Amino acid sequence: MDSILCDELLQEIFHRLPPSSSAAVSLVSKRWLRLLRSSTVALSLTFISTPLALPSLSSFLSHHPYLSSLSLSDSSSSSFSSSSHHLLQSIASSCPNLRHLRFLAEPVSGFSLLSLSNSCSHLSSLTITLSRPLCFQWLAPLRALKDLSVFITGSETELFSYNGFASVLDAELNLESLSLCGSRGVDYGLNFLWRNCKKLEKLKLKSCECVGDNASFSAFIKGLETLKEVELRTSRTVADGVLLKLAEGSVSLSSLLVYDGGSKEGLLQFISHSRADVQKLDLRLPLDLDNDHLIAVAENFRTLSSLRLQSCCLVTGEGLKTIGRALSEELEELALINCDVVEREPGLLTTLGQNLKRLRKLDLSYNELLLDKELSAMLVSSSNLKELKLRGCNRLTNMAMVSMARRCKQLETVDIMYCCRIEMEAVELFLSNSSHLRQLQVEESKLSVVAKKLVSKNCIEIVA
């Protein structure tokens, strides 16, 4: 009967199948196998076999000539240090049309990547684990590459003299987004990136102690006119320098994230002197953020639309109220996650709710002492909320859900996981009064039969 449907239509059906069906579908008949393989554009594989599986990866991939996206990860703990080279060669020779590659099965060296970069010229995004010593010459042929994510690994002893790299040819790279994890003092190979990424828009650094040669890096940050988003995670030693340079240049910067390691002075310098129209600020700095910073934000970032603070215990109501007044027509998203100021100062949330007239997204997760009446008082003024997250707020009871149902009729996304005092009846009541709800994060056990019917009738996504 399937002969009624032409190849094209059968492929339309295959496109709508989840990846888990591929195994069964490919065994139905030769025609189905052929069509499935030629319509597969994305594969996500876990490398669970031994090195003996190498020849079969090559032939396996060669059956999927239209593959544009491939992800290979490793679930086994044994390391096949010589095999990553062969795996990359298999990929390079079998998948010339690849656009996206995630290769986290094994660390690779710059040398192995040459075969990839010479064959897969359409690659636009790449995620890899790179082993030391770092070398980025292989990036030059990848003219279409916009997104690069590198996890750096390997011995940190300086085994090679870098004089040999002085003659490394520069090449203008088209990278727009760069993400680095784990760089250390010996990683001078990074200087190639600082000299050649002139179009970078997003920079993400995680657990980076050092980024190659400081002078190169500083010149890079300061000169980067296209930089829009910066994320610094657990990179205390680097953060200071970055923030100071961002303050001097980077007028296009619109989003800054600093978690777990910044510097008071660097951050204050940046906030007070930046000429950029920063839209989003996301800070998790228990020891480095205080009211001075918030007051500076209120003065200098007049177009801020999103402020997220996590575990910022030095902040008090005074700083937050200054923000509330200054950004009353601007701020659309506010997060005060695990910020005990919310619990320490009754009435703070009420004031913020009254001031922030444009508030659409509110996140008060993990404030374990937050009381119903504090939340309700804020919700009275925030009737246009679309997103509300209260994960882990153990003190909230059914009353909180009643307030939400009554005051915030526009809610689309709600998170009430781990709110142990909120019960089934309250969840059901909320569901029957929220016509705009699209997603609810709650334990399955809190959904009554009626609630489940409402969920399926209104196509609400439940996430546990």
Catalog residues that contact other proteins under the rule CB under 8 A: 1-2, 4-5, 8-9, 12-30, 32-33, 43-49, 53, 56-57, 60, 71, 75, 459
CB 153 within 8 A of CB 131: yes
Q: Are 165 and 135 in contact (CB under 8 A)?
A: yes
> Hey, what are 285's tokens?
């700095």
Q: Is 213 helix (H, G, I), strand (E, B) or coil?
A: coil
What is the nearest approach in angstroms of other proteins to the Cβ of residue 68?
17
Nearer to other proteins, 18 or 164 (CB): 18
Rounded CA gap, 96 and 68, in Å? 9
Distance, in Å, from the CA atom of 369 to the CA atom of 65, rounded to the nearest integer, reads 57
In degrees, to the nearest 5, what angle opens at C-alpha 279 toward C-alphas 415 and 244? 115
Smallest gap, in angstroms, from Cβ of residue 352 to other proteins? 35
Tell me whether residue 12 or residue 299 sits nearer to other proteins (CB atom): 12
Smaller CB separation from other proteins, 83 or 177:
83
Measured CA to CA, the distance from residue 187 to residue 170 in angstroms comes to 17
- Cα-based distances in Å from 138 to 118, 154, 316, 319, 430: 8, 19, 50, 49, 56
Smallest distance from other proteins to CB 83, Å: 14
Taking residue 238's Cβ as centre, other Cβ atoms within 10 Å add up to: 20
Question: At closest approach, how far in Å is the CB of 450 from other proteins?
Answer: 18
Considering the complex, state which of residue 12 and residue 277 has its C-beta at the smaller distance from other proteins.
Answer: 12
Q: How far is the CB of 92 from other proteins (least distance, A)?
A: 18
Q: What is the Cα–Cα distance from 106 to 121, expressed in whole angstroms?
A: 22
Choose between 72 and 427: whose C-beta lies nearer to other proteins.
72
Q: Cβ closer to other proteins: 7 or 172?
A: 7
The DSSP annotation for 10-33 comes to HHHHHHTS-GGGHHHHHTT-HHHH
> How long is the chain?
464
Q: How far is the CB of 126 from other proteins (least distance, A)?
A: 19
Residue 168 three-state SS? coil
Q: Is 342 in contact with 374 (CB distance < 8 Å)?
A: yes
Shortest separation between residue 372's beta carbon and other proteins, angstroms: 34
Of 244 and 454, CB closest to other proteins: 454
Q: Which is nearer to other proteins, 60 or 162 (CB)?
A: 60
Minimal distance in Å, beta carbon 43 to other proteins? 7
Assigned token pair, 140: 């030059």
In the complex, least distance from residue 46 CB atom to other proteins, rounded to whole angstroms: 4
Measured from the CB atom, is 49 or 432 closer to other proteins? 49
DSSP H helical ranges for 287-432: 291-300, 317-326, 341-344, 348-355, 372-381, 398-407, 424-432
How far apart are CB 36 and other proteins at their closest, in Å? Answer: 11
Choice between 33 and 402, CB closer to other proteins: 33
Cis, bond preceding 133 (omega within 30 deg of 0): yes
Q: Tokens for 399, please give them.
A: 């009353």
* C-beta separation of 249 from 274 below 8 A: no
